[in-house]
Amino acid sequence: MNKEITTTGSGFLALADLDMNESMAEELEGLEGGFDRVKIPAGGATMFELPGDDADEPETVKEFSAVILYHHPVLQYYKEKYTGGSNPPDCGSFDGVNGEGDPGGVCAKCPLNQFGSGENNAKACKNRRRIFLLREGEMFPLILSLPTGSMKEFSRYIKRLLSKGRKSNMVVTRFSLRKATNSSGIAYSQAQFSIDRPLTSEEQILINSLTEQVKVYSRRVGFDAEEAAEAAPLVDPETGEVIEAL
């Protein structure tokens, strides 16, 4: 189903009717990750894939709006070529500063975190940004795993917010995609970000509370197939973007 997500007008005030600490603890107990995902397509397509009521029928939309509750880097290195599944990497990091495992250490100084260390001039250690989102009218967050080729746009957006004295969880962000092309003429999908509207003071209180809870639960979300090197990828040597030819 192709459609655009629209707001209901109630904002995020419905969160006041839910004890998120209790609900998240009960609902996520024993689940791996516990959060549904927003997927960015490959090959330059400009439609997001959002979770639907039926797991086999996701929604596809050109753009959607949500609050960015929390975001953090995800770095992971596999000695052997990744072929799928949920096996943890040989070395990984959830802060982008210190790697845990083999080889471990300071990520910025690691030779595996440099372009040219992996296939097709990419990094052997894959870098992504994990973003926890809350759409209006929903109670539980979604995860958007942002690929390397979209990070520059995300960084620019966050800096624009900060220059106006705002954090990412103080506004409703509109997400869209554009078709980008690397120097070899291969297309990939690049995420775009813009301010939809600021939160009201009442909404901000509720969102701040949920943000703190998501920070705690975020470490329960391990490394997974979506954030690992995919099978038989093409990689943009300029950005490290995992892409597929048209």
pLDDT digits (tens, 9 = 90+) for 15-69: 766 555 555 556 555 555 568 889 888 778 889 999 887 777 888 899 999 999 9
Burial 125-144 (b: 16+ CB within 10 A, else e): bbbbbbbbbbbbeebbbbbb
Residue 224 counted as domain residue = yes
Neighbours of 164 (CB within 10 A): 10
Residue 5 counted as domain residue = no
Structurally, the chain folds into a number of domains equal to 1
Cβ neighbours of residue 195 closer than 8 Å, sequence gap 6 or more: 161, 171, 172, 173, 174
Is the pLDDT at 220 greater than 90, yes or no? no
Residue 156 counted as domain residue = yes
pLDDT for 139:
81
Maximum distance among all Cα pairs of the chain, rounded to whole angstroms = 52
| HSE-CB of 97 using CA atoms within 13 angstroms | 2
Alpha-carbon span 67 to 37, nearest angstrom: 15
Closest CA to 177 of 49, 66, 45: 45
pLDDT for 16:
66
Residue 4 counted as domain residue = no
Residues 76, 80, 81, 82, Cα dihedral to 10°: -50
58: containing domain: 13-243
CA 57 vs CA 26, 53, 60, 139: distances in Å:
26, 8, 9, 21
Residue 134 counted as domain residue = yes
Cβ neighbours of residue 164 closer than 8 Å, sequence gap 6 or more: none
- The confidence band for 12, taking pLDDT boundaries of 50, 70 and 90, is confident
Mean pLDDT of the chain: 78
pLDDT in tens, 191-209: 999 999 999 999 999 999 8
Residue 73 counted as domain residue = yes
Residue 2 counted as domain residue = no
- Is 246 in contact with 43 (CB distance < 8 Å)? yes
Question: How many residues does this entry show for the chain?
Answer: 246
Residue 219 counted as domain residue = yes
Amino acid, single-letter form, for residue 168:
S
pTM, whole model, 2 decimals? 0.78
Burial 198-227 (b: 16+ CB within 10 A, else e): ebeeebbebbeebbebbeebbeebebbebb
Cβ neighbours of residue 11 closer than 8 Å, sequence gap 6 or more: 136, 199, 200, 202, 203
Tell me which DSSP letter residue 110 carries.
-
Alpha-carbon span 69 to 50, nearest angstrom: 17
81-107 average pLDDT score: 81
